[in-house]
Structure 1
Amino acid sequence: MALNCGIVGLPNVGKSTIFQAITSAPAEAANYPFCTIEPNVGIVNVGDERLQKIADIVGPEKIIPTIVEFVDIAGLVKGASKGEGLGNQFLGHIRQVNAIVQVVRCFDDGNVIHVAGRVDPIDDIEIINMELALADLEVVQRKISNLPKLIKNQNKEISSKAKMVAPVLDKLVAHLEEGRPARILDLSDEDLELVRDLNLITLKKTLYLCNVSEDYLVEDNEYVQKVREFAAVEGSEVLKICGKLESEIASLESEEEKKEFMEAAGIETSGLSLLTNAAYKMLGLRTYFTAGVKEVRAWTFRAGAKAPEAAGVIHSDFERGFIKAEIYHCDDLFNLGSESKVKEAGKLKMEGKEYEVKDGDVIHFRFNV
């Protein structure tokens, strides 16, 4: 299960610079709008110190981390939902991602042109949110126009669902017309299931990524404070990063050089680690491990998953033919020093189909197909 995040924002807020830094993948970055047209995609490893600690004990031939995919989507502008700045094309790319990382400019620099000629992070956020809401509004209205035909359908299941979804769509229209994202509308789980097929952009989890100058990595400036207040109202996450500094770190060749640079700059954790961990938390994702002499590997699963579902992350056959799972927690391995000692201590358990997998579990699945 790969985590897929779309990086969005107005032109010249630092999206491509941040993308390039965290993925070390080439993304055209320049001081003018619409520098990015086709989305750049970067696949990066998710940093997890537990993976290396397990490998140090087991001694595998290979270590395979889980991954996250970042998609650098072109800068949106006011009117994007109506096609301004090739907006429709860009909005189509956003619909394909699992979550949205909205980069917000929270720094002053007269040498970097702002598309509106001034720095106002809340106005920037509201422009993006309005355009995404209007794009979703068009999708919802199109669905409403098809309802009469669906209600008359001879298939009772199709007809019944159309009648049930009608009031939900009406509620969405009233909300989206005001430029507000659907994720802050009070929709029940049943409501969300009814409109799942619409793949609404504004229902996606969103993280606001404040791009700050190096001076404000520790202390918040007034721009970041405003973003935090705004995000708190809608229950969204906020993260702070210095795109310029991350770009300098990414340009260094060795891990040792990067570590020395970060220590000198007073940075304990890279922007990449902060962002991937925040994205994991936002989407309710967790990690379990498989460990053997051939490989130690990290796997991503959704919080609350039962053992068969987690097994299915490896291969559908594992889920279909699931029998049992041998499970211990990585903390027990770290404390006791070997898998044999974990067994001796009675920490390795045999679990069945109802076992809820925990973050940090080390699992060996038994299956038969």
Structure 2
Amino acid sequence: MALSVGIVGLPNAGKSSLFNALSRAGAPVAAYPFTTIDPHRGVVPVPDPRLDAIASVTHPDRVVPATVEFVDIAGLVRGASRGEGLGNQFLAQIRDANAIAHVVRCFPDPEVPHVEGAVDPVRDIEIVETELALADLAAVERELERARIRVKAHEAKASDEVTLLEDLSAQLQRGTPARRLTADPRRADVMAPLRLLTVKPVVYVANVAEQDLPQAPPAEPVRRYAADAQGAPVVALSAKLEAEAAQ
């Protein structure tokens, strides 16, 4: 089964442009929110010179490369964890992904309105991260209620599970993503069946204007945020330019 990467971010951040650059699928792109409602999917082979080298020696009937499925997911807005916008649909789609590509708008364009009124990369990241954390917190609290019932029924290990879930809830409320809490194997075991959103590995895609390349100074706030809060990689590019080059 292919690795699945969910492309997420606020509306008009450039998610569909990035999807088109990666998949050459020609998904619709427009200067208004929620152009994408149903997710677009594209499966892309992963180039691997080692595979070619092995095939040149073994001469198989066919060579099947590894693949990555990219999923262009509807834009998230404030309140998505409560069902605002396409929130419920968004959260269900990202829950099925193995990893997240978080597209952050770092370009001004009066013809492409920003849902928050102005470009502010860190604020935009925090909106998405907060909604994902709130959705995770709701899932943890539901499981915590069930675990407390199991304690009353004197089920084995239920008390330990309550302790771990209470700690996880507190960490999420402090803004710590679940991906930073997996070092403890006991905590990881408790989180696994919950399919938490913030446990997924993330790469931030700073979408800058073409004229800001190659140094991409508008991406610097994203780089600082990723280093300080997440320890996640950042890729700076112009999704529009990349999509045009992929045509």
CA distance in 1, matches of 2:43, 2:202: 20
Among 208, 231, 241, the alignment partner of 2:226 is 231
Please report the TM-score for the alignment, with normalisation by the length of structure 1: 0.63
Partner of 2:192: 196
Q: In structure 2, what is the Cα distance between the partners aligned to 1:78 and 1:178?
A: 18
Match of 1:36 in 2: 36
Per the alignment, residue 71 of structure 2 pairs with 71
Question: Are 2:140 and 2:169, in contact at CA under 8 Å, matched by a contact in 1?
Answer: yes
Task: Tell me which of 203, 207, 217 is aligned to 1:207.
Answer: 203
1:142 matched to 2:137: no
Q: Which residue of 2 aligns with 1:87?
A: 87
Q: What residue identity is the alignment partner of 1:122?
A: V
Q: Distance in 1 between matches of 2:182 and 2:58?
A: 48
Task: Give the structure with the larger strand fraction.
Answer: 1
Q: Deviations over 1:210-241 (max 9, x none)?
A: 112223332131x3111111111221111122
Which stretch of the first structure deviates more once superposed, 172-181 or 86-95? 172-181
* Structure 2 counterpart of 1:166, one-letter code: V
Q: Paired residue for 1:245, among 235, 238, 241?
A: 241
Which aligned pairs between 1:48-127 and structure 2 lie closer than 5 A?
48-127=48-127
Q: CA separation in 2, counterparts of 1:151 and 1:171? A: 17
Query: Cα distance 1:57–1:212, how it changes in 2: closer, same or farther (>3 A)?
Result: farther
> Do 2:18 and 2:242's aligned partners in 1 also have CA atoms closer than 8 Å?
yes
Q: Percent identity?
A: 48
Instruction: Kindly provide the amino acid, as one letter, of the partner of residue 217 in structure 1.
Output: L
Structure 1 residue 185: deviation in Å? 4.1
Relative contact order higher in (CA < 8 Å, ≥ 6 apart): 2
Q: C-alpha displacement at 1:128, in angstroms?
A: 0.2
1:56: how far off? 4.2
Q: Determine which structure has more spread, i.e. the larger CA radius of gyration.
A: 1
Aligned to 2:132: 132
- Are 1:24 and 2:24 an aligned pair? yes
- Judged with a 3 Å threshold, the aligned counterparts in structure 2 of structure 1 residues 110 and 68 are, in CA distance, closer, same or farther, namely same
| 1:109-166 residue CA offsets vs partner (Å, 9 max, x unmatched) | 2222111121111000000000000011111111111123222447xxxx22322221
Q: Is the 8 A contact 1:131 1:179 kept in 2?
A: no
8 A contact 1:8–1:74 mirrored in 2: yes
CA displacement 1:165-193 (0-9 Å, x = unmatched):
21221122222224442223475122111
* Structure-1 separation of matches of 2:32 and 2:157: 47
- Structure 2 contact 76–90 (Cα < 8 Å) conserved: yes
What CA distance in whole angstroms lies between the structure 1 residues aligned with 2:150 and 2:127?
Answer: 35
1:58 shift after superposition: 4.6
Task: Report the aligned-residue RMSD.
Answer: 1.8
Q: Deviations over 1:36-87 (max 9, x none)?
A: 1111111111122333344445554433211001111100001111111020
